[in-house]
Every structure is written in C-alpha cells, then in structure tokens.
Amino acid sequence: MKIFDEDFKQFKKINLIILALTVAFVPLIVRFHLLELNDTISQYWFNPINSDFFSFYKMIWLLFMSAILCITLLAYLWKHKFIRTFFYIPLLLYAGFAVFSSIFSDYSEAVLIGFPDRFENIFVLLGYVILTIAAINLVDNKNSFQFISGALFISAFILGIHGLMQFFGFEFLDTTLGRFLTIPSEVRGFVEPSFRYTSGRIYSTMYNPNYVGSYGAMVVTFILGLYINSRSRKSLYIFGPLSVIMFAYLLGSQSRAGMVGFMVGILLLGFWLRLRIIRNWRSVGIIVIAFFLVFVSMNVYTIDDMLGEIISPATEHDLIEKEIALPPLTDIQSDDSRLTLETAAVELNLVADEEGDLIFLDGQDKELEYYIEEETGILNFVDEGFTEHNFRISQEEGLIEWTYDDRETYFALRDGKFYIAGINNNLYEIQDVPTWGFEGYERIGSGRGYIWSRSIPLLRETLIIGHGPDTYAMYFPHEDAAGMRIHMSRIGIVDKPHNMYLQKAINTGVLSLIALLVLWGGYLLQSLIIYKNANLDDWRVRGGIAVAAAVAAYLATGFFNDSVVSVAPVFWILLGMGISLNIQYRKSRE
C-alpha cells in the first residue's frame, strides 16, 4: 500500500490518518467516566450519577478527531478542488435542522453533552457530517480507499476476536490488563465493575448486543462484497477468514435487527454480483460452508424462529396459544376508587371503601376470599384462578405491591384514588396516552411495537424542528406506566425509540429526516443504477458495490436499532466513501 506516495499532499495524509483513527478506534474504546447529572436529566435516569464505560470517551474521541479534521480538511480544500455533488445539499440541510433543534431545545445539557449512556449530542451529529464530507473529498483513489478500509478491518478483527472470547465465556475486560486499560488509576480501587453479561451472547465494546448487530451486519456485508470480488489469493485469504469472524460476531449478538440488515446486504450483493458469484462458485461455496459450520457450532438455536417473528409477529392471542408463560396482562384501568387488573384469563378488581380498606372482586363483582401469611405479610387468594396474583399492602402509607408473573408493580391510594408508580417511583394517574398503530402487536421486537406506537404521536410536535439531539427520553410518555407493564412486562426508562428514523424525526425534526432519506435513498438509488451492469474489472465498481451493500445493511438495521456513537461514525465514513466512489466511477465513464 503506497499511502504515502509523493502525489499525496501533506494535508491529505493527515486527513486520511484522522479518518482511519476514527473508523478504527471509536468502536474499540472502553473507559470509565463518572458524570453528575443535573436535576432535569436525573428525573429520567436511574440516579443522579451516570457511571459510563462505553459511550462517553467514544464521544470525546470522535469530537477530538472531528475538530482536528475540520481544520485540516479546510486547509486541504483551500488549495485542492472541492468535489462537487448534490449530496451536500441534504447533508447540510440535516445539519442545519439539527442546529436549529438544538438552539430551541428546552434541554440544553442533553443537547450539548448528551443523554446518559448515549452522548450523541449536537457536536457528535455535526461530527458525522464532517466525517462524511471528508470521506467524499479524500477517498478519491485506490490507495486512500485501501487505507481507510484497512483501518476498519484491523478494528473489526480485534472486535471479532474479543466478541468470540466473550461468547465462549472469557472476558478480556475482566482481566487485570483489561481493568488497567478501562479504569482510571484515581478510581481503580473504588470501581469494581463486572463485564460478564449473559452467557453465550456478544455485547462487545458496545454494551448492547443490538449495536453489535448493526456493526456486524454492516462490516460483514462490506467484507463479503470484497471477498466475492477478490482477484488474488492474497485477498481471498484476508477477506475469507475475516468475513467468517465477523459473521460469528454478528450471530453471537443474537440481534434480529442485525440479521435483517445482513440479509438485505446479501440480497444486494447477489443482485450486483450475480455473474461473479457464478464464475467464482468455488470460493463462494467455501464461504457458504464456513458460515454454515459457524452457524451450527455456535448453537444458534437460541435465535430460532427469528424470521418468523419479523415476518409474522406474534399477537397477544398467539402468546396464549403457545403457553409461553402465564396468561398475559391485557389491561390496567382505574376509575377513581376502583382499580382493575385484567389478564387474558381473569379480571381482578380492587375497590377502596370509605375507610380506605380494600375489597377484592372478580369480574362479576364477587368478593374474593384470601389469607395473609403472618411471616411475610403477603396476601394470597383462595380461588385457584387468582393464585398467581399476590399483594403486599401498607394501609398506613396507602401503598400496594402487586406481584404477577414474578414481576412487581406498585400502586398508591391517595384520597380515594389509585395511582401507579413509574420511573424513579413517580406516581402517575392511570389513563390512556396518544397511540398510533401496532394494536395487538405491541410486543413485537421485545416491546418495540409498544414504543413505536407511543413515539409516532410525538411527531406532530416536531414536523419542522425537533426537540433537540438526545432529548427523546424527556418526551416519551413515561406517565404510561400501565402501558409499559402490560406490553413490556416492566416499568422503566425508555431513552430510545429503537428506530433510527423515529429517533431522527423526534430529536432533530421530520424535515431533517426527510433530508436524510433524500441523502441515503438518493445514494442507494444511484448505486443501484450505475452498478447494475457495471464492469467489475474496475476497482471503483468492486469497492462501490461492497460499500453500498454495507450502507444498505446498516440502514435496514435502523428500522429496529438506534443511531449510537459506537457504530454511527463507521457508517458515515462508509457513506462518504461510497458517494466518492460513485462520483469517480461516473467520471471515468464520461
């Protein structure tokens, strides 16, 4: 690789190195940081202090690299031709709407610093824009493409090995060296984290397996595109094993979103490279067999019926028919002094009399018999249909603890009216909130249907500008604690919509999302057209197809996952590279 040939100007060298350091190091960084939250944000978090390992210093590194890049890129473009493309328009429009959403936001700390564990603030969003513009203008020849790609592959290899170690029960971060690298010396004696998560699942350096899925789907698609187009044994020996490692990395995440993205990427590669696949059937067959062996050896039966839930998701009725658990909770209602808890099997009513004593009734208002355990104070029903419902009641404080399906829900009786306890034990009236769609499918995607149905109505307030980057948690209707308990089986903080498109529309506005859709959709449509029957002997075509398929894979995962600082910088750099390759190829055809 002749990245430092004399035809590379000094500033271009620096810019390419910055891009490489960004794409390689951001996903890898794990470092402890303690952040004190202000009173407003702490209302939407578990406590006033945020102990972060996986996002804050990723954000710091990204901002540091972006700030330097902004200066050095301007210096480079001062004397070099600025590559012209229509895609700057939607990209800069998105940046503009993000800035305006930040200026008019009611939550300046979230906008300027970011929400706990996320830290995707306005400066991070602008950093993505800078990375994309830089990639468009810098990745204009084969050497620069190989240089940035090589940095990504080295980082992916490290992540893949670490992920597989994690999958098979060895966590490097829990070793002496791992703790030395991740915990600052001044707090090393006080912070004793454990990085051992669910056995047999890869969380990697991104703390959430869904983000591993987004990264894995994007990178394995990119590598596979290059593997299929390999023109030498050396390339096959590099891209083959690396693609297998990253496929295992993706599988180990058990991310449905990641698998959907991977399938989208594979379909595009199959369309563009159909003739090359037939011609190179031996090498393609080898990788298919390798993938199959990995699939079997990792015991991925833990994610069986993955496609079934995506294509035909289970309704509440389906869950009952399968008898996965107890009859699901279907409704929680309150009419002042009457609280109704309804499951698919029975209806249980709590009625407060004038003295504040509770009477328990069934669906026909027949009083239920019960007894109270002396040692535990737990109230149990005699009727067999209600034995799974248990209560612990504090008459003096008016507090009621209800346990069903091994999950506790807390209610309070105040002045003859029932309230439900939500995040941070805040009491909320039990009432309906605005919803849209997904009725009967709220449990789809681990509760995503519920979150989406409550998030879509928020768009009415963000048609032009959004609430501000990383402010979603402050606007989600957390007062719908009853809805959370019914459809998510838990009451907690919803700090992300689990959908990148809703995330953008709510945080930076619907118009900003439209700008992004024009950018992303325009790039993919352009790629679909120019690579349909393109000459695969051209390195720009081979690289462009791999990048476009990887971009499509990531965008597909975005229907189920959010944009996060662990993964997004890699996507935006790949996007800029893809736009540049399209421009270079079209110029070569003129």
Pick the more confident residue, 182 or 100: 100
pLDDT-based confidence at 200, cuts 50/70/90?
A: confident
pLDDT computed for residue 136 by the predictor = 96
Instruction: Read off the tokens for 565.
Output: 């600082």
Judged against a pLDDT cut of 70, whether residue 564 lies above it is answered with yes
Q: What is the per-residue pLDDT for 5?
A: 44
- Check whether 196 has a pLDDT greater than 70: no
DSSP letter for each residue of 512-528: HHHHHHHHHHHHHHHHH
Summarize pLDDT for 321-330 with one digit per residue, the tens.
Answer: 544 557 888 8
What pLDDT sits at residue 81?
80
Report, as an integer, the average pLDDT of 330-349: 90
Predicted local confidence at residue 455, as pLDDT: 96
pLDDT tens, residue by residue, 282-301: 999 999 999 999 988 876 54
pLDDT classification of 303: cutoffs 50, 70, 90: low
Rounded to whole angstroms, the Cα distance separating 39 from 322 reads 45
HSE, side-chain direction, 13 A CA sphere, residue 363: 10
Residue ranges of the domains in the chain? Answer: 10-206+496-589, 337-415
Residue ranges of alpha helices (H) inside 353-456 are 444-455
Question: Is 545's pLDDT higher than 60?
Answer: yes
- Report whether 516 contacts 476 (CB < 8 A): no
**Which tokens go with 442?**
């709220």
- The pLDDT value recorded for residue 325 is 59
Given a cut of 50, is residue 452 above it in pLDDT? yes
CATH class of 337-415: mainly beta
Confidence of residue 337 (pLDDT cuts 50, 70, 90): confident
Over residues 386-436, the pLDDT tens digits come to 989 999 988 777 799 999 988 899 999 888 889 999 988 889 999 889 999
Q: What is the pLDDT of residue 315?
A: 55
Tell me if 577 sits within 8 A of 547, measured CB to CB.
Answer: yes
Q: Where are the beta strands (DSSP E) in 456-503?
A: none
Residue 50: pLDDT over 90 = no
The pLDDT assigned to 175 comes to 84
3-state secondary structure 257-308: HHHHHHHHHHHHHHHHCHHHHHHCHHHHHHHHHHHHHHHHHCCHHHHCCHHH
Q: Provide mean pLDDT across the span 505-532.
A: 96
**Span of 71-85, 115-129, 150-164, 254-268 with lowest mean pLDDT:** 71-85
Residue 152 reports pLDDT greater than 90: yes
Strand pairing partners for 417?
A: 414
Residue 307, pLDDT > 60, answer no
The single-letter code of the amino acid at 206 is M
The reported pLDDT for the residue numbered 425 is 84
Residue 98 has pLDDT above 50, yes or no: yes
Q: Please report the sign of the dihedral spanned by the C-alpha atoms of residue 535, residue 538, residue 544, residue 545.
A: positive
Burial 313-352 (b: 16+ CB within 10 A, else e): bbebeeebeeeeeebbbeebebeebebbbbbeeebbbbbb
Half-sphere exposure at residue 572, Cβ-oriented, CA atoms within 13 angstroms? 25
Strands 407-414 and 399-404: antiparallel
Give the confidence band of 341 by pLDDT, cuts at 50, 70, 90: very high
Instruction: Give pLDDT tens digits for 474-485.
Output: 999 999 998 999
